[in-house]
Amino acid sequence: MTTHRPPNCGPAWFRGANRLLDGAAGLFQTAAELLLTVMLVINFANIVLRNTGQPSLLWVSPWTLVLMVWAVFLGFFVMYRRHLDIVLGLVIDRLGPFGRRMARVLTALAGLAFTLILLAETPQILTRQRGTMELIGLTRYWLSLPLLASAAMLTLHFLTDLIGVLAGWADDDAPGSEEAAQW
């Protein structure tokens, strides 16, 4: 688990919040990896069955879709928390230290606005997703729960990042491509 903040920077509550968010990112990553593993296993089993003349498992395709949606939604938080999102490094690097800080502030504000709007819409999102998914038996609103969990964690991430940048507790440097390759 990597973090891009100086480890002893800021007050104890700030360091603790970052440790909790880093831990949550580890849990979200593990959950996404487990979901991908289940997808691999059930699809492999389905292929083996079909190639041995057995009937196809009809439930594999819809469950694969659900598991993929869940893995992607859980991965949103992990990518932003670990700073593996796409950045305009060519432009940002030319802004200098103050410009990089302001870009990070704007990113945090935009992220907060997006996640807070998404979370504010949660009651409507959940009420609109009615009905049961065929061959799965789950109510459609289950598709949104990982997205809402990521949005809640991203809200806390962007808030702590904004506080850290404005207070001078956060590192200005973005991780390099070697960090992304490790993940």
SS3 60: helix
Q: How far apart are CA 35 and CA 77, in angstroms?
A: 16
Task: Give Cβ neighbours of residue 135 (< 8 Å, ≥ 6 apart).
Answer: 58, 59, 62, 63
The pLDDT mean for the chain works out to 87
pLDDT of residue 95: 85
pLDDT digits (tens, 9 = 90+) for 22-64: 999 999 999 999 999 999 999 999 999 999 999 989 999 999 9
Cβ pair 69, 30 in contact under 8 A: no
Percentage of residues in the chain having pLDDT higher than 90? 62
Q: Which of 26, 41, 29 is nearest to 70 (CA)?
A: 29
Query: Residue 174 pLDDT > 60, yes or no?
Result: no
Ranked by mean pLDDT, which of 78-87, 97-106, 151-160 comes out on top? 151-160
Q: How far apart are CA 25 and CA 23, in angstroms?
A: 5
